[in-house]
Amino acid sequence: QPVLTQPPSTSASLGASVTLTCTLSSGFDFYKVDWYQQRPGKGPRFVMRVGTGGIVGAKGDGIPDRFSVSGSGLNRLLTINNIQEEDESDYYCGADHGTGSNFVWVFGGGTRLTVL
Amino acid sequence: EGQVAESGGGLVQPGGALRLSCAASEFSFTTYEMAWVRQAPGKGLEWVATINRDGSEKHYVDSVKGRFFISRDNAKTSLYVQMNSLRVEDTATYYCTRVNFGGAFDIWGQGTMVTVSS
């Protein structure tokens, strides 16, 4: 099954842009990943799915246009433009992996975004 | 869009049991697979279990196999997880989530806290 690696933390200034990275383990180049946002004290929220060709399907409800994704090789990126205070959250990537009758879902360790 | 709401969390001793419930509303419950995801205090997300639309197929993370049992009642639009032989390491907030047609978890509840401690 894939392993998803995320840096533990990053920061960005109000109004700036930031790119969060989720790296798939070797051999899983064609996997799509899902991005989730978790604000402090809240449940997670689906952001969008990304493959090597970019967004797959629709964004989650209420996700602003400032959020976009891209993918290349083993990296699946979430970019936030014009960062707002409400973007300060933990961001997780996740993926499902199935072989035959055995399915698992895995998450990266999450990246905490601090807005300065 | 749809909503889910968890209940049933609490404090339980190691080796004890607990049943969590999730009430779904404002979407066609029988159309979707459902899942439980947990988050230990200060830690990341961990998938626990998934059930298909009619309840005939279930998948579990290795650490809960044989101890946790996911089920659903489509007539009541509800999802459940029976948790037996609970361990200290099962302490977490448990989230009910809908699995969309692509396999992503697209609707989440606020979670219910389970604490396993003596």
Q: What is the pLDDT of residues A31-60, one digit of tens each?
A: 999 999 999 999 999 999 999 999 999 999
Dihedral sign for Cα A40, A17, A78, A46, please.
positive
Of B117, B74, B100, B12, which is closest to residue A36 (Cα–Cα)? B100
Report the share of chain A in percent with pLDDT over 70.
Answer: 99
Kindly indicate the confidence band of residue A98, based on its pLDDT and cuts at 50, 70 and 90: confident
Interface test with B, best of A39, A103, A106, A111 (most B CBs within 10 A): A103
CB A104 to CB B61 under 8 A? yes
pLDDT digits (tens), chain B, 118 positions: 899 999 999 999 999 999 999 999 999 999 999 999 999 999 999 999 999 999 999 999 999 999 999 999 999 999 999 999 999 999 999 999 999 998 899 999 999 999 999 9
CA distance A3 to A16: 30
Give the count of beta carbons closer than 10 Å to the beta carbon of residue B65.
Answer: 11
The shortest CB-CB distance from B103 to any of A43, A61, A96 is to A96
CB B107 within 8 A of CB B96: no
Taking all residues of chain A, what is their mean pLDDT, rounded to a whole number? 95
CB-CB neighbors (< 8 A) of B108 in chain A: 43-46
Spell out where chain A has E strands. Answer: 4-5, 9-12, 18-24, 33-38, 45-51, 54-56, 67-72, 75-80, 89-99, 102-107, 111-115
Strand partners, A23: A5, A75
pLDDT of residue B77: 98
Cα separation, A27 vs A92, whole angstroms: 21
Tell me the chain B residues in contact with residue A42 when contact means C-beta distances shorter than 8 Å: 110
Res B29: pLDDT: 97
Contact B102 A49 (CB under 8 A): yes
> pLDDT at position A100, please?
67
Torsion of CA A21, A24, A29, A33, to 10 degrees: -70
Q: How large is the average pLDDT for residues A101-116?
A: 93
In this model, does residue A101 exceed pLDDT 90?
no
Contact across the interface for A46 and B59, Cβ inside 8 Å: no
Give chain B positions within 8 Å (CB) of A90.
Answer: 44
Chain A partners of B102 at a C-beta cutoff of 8 Å? 32, 49, 56-57
